[in-house]
Amino acid sequence: MRHDWVTESGNPASTEIDSLSTLEIVRLINSEDAKIAAAVALEESNIAAAVALITEKLRDGGRLIYIGAGTSGRLGVLDASECPPTFNSDPRQVVGLIAGGSGALTRAIEGAEDDLSAAPRDLTAIDFSASDCLVGIATSGRTPYVIGGVCWARELGAKTIGLACNQDSELAKHVDVMITPIVGPEVISGSTRMKAGTATKLVLNILTTGAMVQLGKTYGNRMVDLRASNSKLIIRARRLVAFLSNVSEEAAEAILSQCSGEVKTAIVMQRLGVDATTARQQLSDANGHLRKVIG
């Protein structure tokens, strides 16, 4: 094992953690966690480049695919699974793959991350192509499953992004954009579900949120690209249309009933005084950006 992997090194601040009081343990972990946002901030330019790349692929009909093992894989699957309820995106648009398959989400699958050929098989199974964008997540930057996946994807001509928490990693040699938040040694040595995991979650949040915003999924900070399909969403949709169209909730409900519960369509109908067909066409002409239609 290399000795310069900061994610595997010992943390001087926690060498006597087992002798601390409960409150002292909490304060120690919290003080270490406070360093994470600053580490992510140092990678803002690389994250922005990744968001631009992902947005381009999604806009052209491609997909965003995450691959990872262990905690990294679970976080990729989590981020992918949260896109449809948040942004009304097609569940096939953002996909997470984890070494060892779905069973690895809840238990460790020994040896799954060490198979260089497994990721190409998994990617082939979902019809991965050069139109898609692959994000390889590997805290160490050396996970064979991830390395095998990004190398195979590049051979296909696909764009690749790497996310690791160690500098000068093997992963960095095989991707178009590399994101490397250096969060330092973990409170519990090698337990990368902690600071490295949190940094990974922060970056993934930005990747999908940034791309979805640029695809017109929001108006300001409001999630307007939704279809009222259950009781919670019906209430949210009604309130959004009422707020953004300056009408009562009763009026908003009536408008939504004319356009199959589509929030953006309803807002354009009310604000511009057009029917649903015209509203949909205007949104399509603006690539789904509500602001471009109503200002």
Q: How far apart are CA 58 and CA 16, in angstroms?
A: 48
CA 188 vs CA 13, 15, 31, 59, 129: distances in Å: 10, 9, 14, 42, 39
Tokens of 146: 């991830």
CA 210 vs CA 37, 49, 89, 204: distances in Å: 17, 11, 14, 10
- Catalytic-labelled residue, pool 8, 56, 82, 170: 82
Active-site residue flag, 113? yes
Minimal CA–CA distance to 137: which of 124, 127, 129, 147? Answer: 147
Q: How far apart are CA 202 and CA 43, in angstroms?
A: 12
274: which DSSP letter?
-
- Catalytic-labelled residue, pool 16, 24, 32, 113: 113
Q: How far apart are CA 18 and CA 59, in angstroms?
A: 51
Active-site residue flag, 44? no
Minimal CA–CA distance to 92: which of 119, 121, 126? Answer: 126
Q: How far apart are CA 15 and CA 22, in angstroms?
A: 15
Q: How far apart are CA 244 and CA 247, in angstroms?
A: 8
Minimal CA–CA distance to 183: which of 170, 167, 165? Answer: 165
Q: Is the dihedral of CA 33, 34, 39, 41 positive or negative?
A: positive
With H, G, I as helix, E, B as strand and everything else as coil, classify residue 177: strand
With H, G, I as helix, E, B as strand and everything else as coil, classify residue 288: coil
- As annotated, the active-site residues are 82, 113
